[in-house]
Structure 1
Amino acid sequence: MASLEDHQVRMVRLLRDLGVQPGDPLPTEPQLALKLNMSRQSVREVLCALQALGFVEARQGARRRMRGFDPAVFGQHIGMTLPYDHDSLLEILEMRQALETQFFPAAFQTMSARRLKQLRGLTDAMRARAEEGKTFLDEDEQFHAMLYEGLENRTLSGILSGFWHFFKTASSTITTGKDLPHTAALHAVIVDAIETGDPQLAAHRLDIHFFDVRNRLAHLAEQDIKASPR
């Protein structure tokens, strides 16, 4: 028996074969049921699943429309469905580190004076907030997004946005108190290296930043284990 995922693949292929473009109305449920040899109930379940993924959008009193693949929605879906625990945080961080370090050499080549100035402004804002004892997750997200903006890779940006959606929700206590100035400084030295025109040094400092976050996550996990009742 075909699974819901199998039916989703068939539906997406059919819509593409029919030439349905983003913004176009979808065929009616009876039309889709006939073309796919499926019951209307099954068609409705598939459309609801595609709607949850952001591929299809529904409007009250109107036919469903094709939205197409939106990397940001896809990334947010990942971020919202993962469990909020230390293992998931570490896995997400490892994936972020792998993606960002892999794309960083190409991103370095696209760096402009304007973006470099914006990156410096973000690190200054981080330092100012750190001195006040305030966290700066929004500035941190903007900093990393700005690093890769020049690549104009929507899929990369969407996936990283999803990681951040998860990370910001699940890691509100990772960077607090005495860690704040240190974390802000780690971002500033990345910009220092970019300004010198040394891609290897900048990549090395980006890696150091990620390893620092991973060490703090591991330390928090150890504390939770020690604090848990036995």
Structure 2
Amino acid sequence: MSLKSMKPLARAPLLHVSVQESLRAYISDNGLKPGTPLPAESDLANQLGVSRNSLREGIKALESVGVLESRRGIGIFVKAFSFEPLLDNLAYGLGGALRQIEEVIEIRRTLEVGLIGKTVEMIGGDDIAELRATVDRMRVHAERGQSFADEDQLFHTLLFRCQNNETLARLIDVFWLAFYKASDFVNLDNVDPVATWRDHAAIVDAIEARDVAEAQKRLDRHYHGISRVIAANKKSANMGGAQ
């Protein structure tokens, strides 16, 4: 296959940024798929009219955002799309900013409540049984006063698995993981795990009854519970600052 070449770059102060833009355009213009190797570094540098050091800076930047990957001794390859770079930046960007965490939760709430109706219509008995088993494990942890983050993540994954929407599944994972990674920066401990377990059980009850309105209401109520945790931490942070 004959590939389109790249034009030599002007010597800009941020040359590596121009290298990144040109490499992105090269991938797009040539319709390169994940796993496709790029030409050798020397060839790319010649096409762009830049040094190999400038080229490598641009490549490293694209590796950091998941566009390219270098395989030692083999070459540079187009990487399959991943939400991981977004997740890392999102969790870091949230930091201790409770307002931004609230906004992420609101997006997640809107997404899940809006799509739960489709789950009610599509979900099968096997997925409902898995949801029940997950809720049962939540109950065991809750009654011991323990957290159940793993079960919580699995629960929300199972809620939408029947829709066979890979992008939706990844987005839900991104928002869930961003929230829990943000707990590295601020205290987001659940003070009432029993209430949270009951929220999840009520969601499954509504889904099994094929009651869309009730499922939406229960899921929405669950997110209001998360918002109360954040609000309590806001109040605590404000009181601490006033001391």
After superposition, give the CA deviation of every residue in 1:35-87 in whole Å (9 maximum; x if it has no partner): 4455544432221122112221122222122112123x244334443232212
Aligned equivalent of 2:73: 61
Letter in 2 for 1:102: G
> 5+ unaligned residues in a row in structure 2: which ranges?
1-11
Corresponding residue for residue 88 of structure 2 = 77
Q: CA RMSD in A?
A: 2.3
Tell me the equivalent position of 2:201. 188
Cα deviations by residue, 1:138-171 (Å, 9 ceiling, x for unpaired): 1111111111112222222222222222212223
Which structure ranks higher in relative contact order (CA pairs < 8 Å, sequence separation ≥ 6)? 1
Matched, 1:198 2:211: yes
Using the size of structure 1 for normalisation, the TM-score is 0.87
Letter aligned with residue 222 of structure 2: H
Unmatched 5+ residue regions in structure 1? Answer: none
Q: 2: distance between equivalents of 1:68 and 1:193?
A: 37
- 3-state SS, counterpart of residue 65 of structure 1: strand
Match of 1:174 in 2: 188
TM-score by length of 2: 0.83
Question: Higher mean Cα deviation, 56-65 or 195-204?
Answer: 56-65
Structure 2 SS opposite 1:225: helix
Per-residue deviation, residues 167-193 of structure 1 (Å, max 9, x unmatched): 12223743444x010011001000000
Distance 1:154 1:5, change over 3 A: farther
**Based on CA coordinates, which of the two structures has the bigger radius of gyration?**
2
How far apart in 1 are the matches of 2:156 and 2:55? 40
* Correspondences of 1:121-200 after superposition (within 5 Å): 121-171=133-183, 173-177=187-191, 179-200=192-213
Determine the C-alpha separation between the residues in 2 that align with 1:8 and 1:107: 41
Q: Is the contact made by 1:145 and 1:157 (CA closer than 8 Å) also made in structure 2?
A: yes
SS at match of 2:71: coil
* Alpha-carbon distance change, 10 to 110 in structure 1, aligned in 2, over 3 angstroms: farther
* Other-structure match for 2:101: 89
Identity fraction in percent:
30
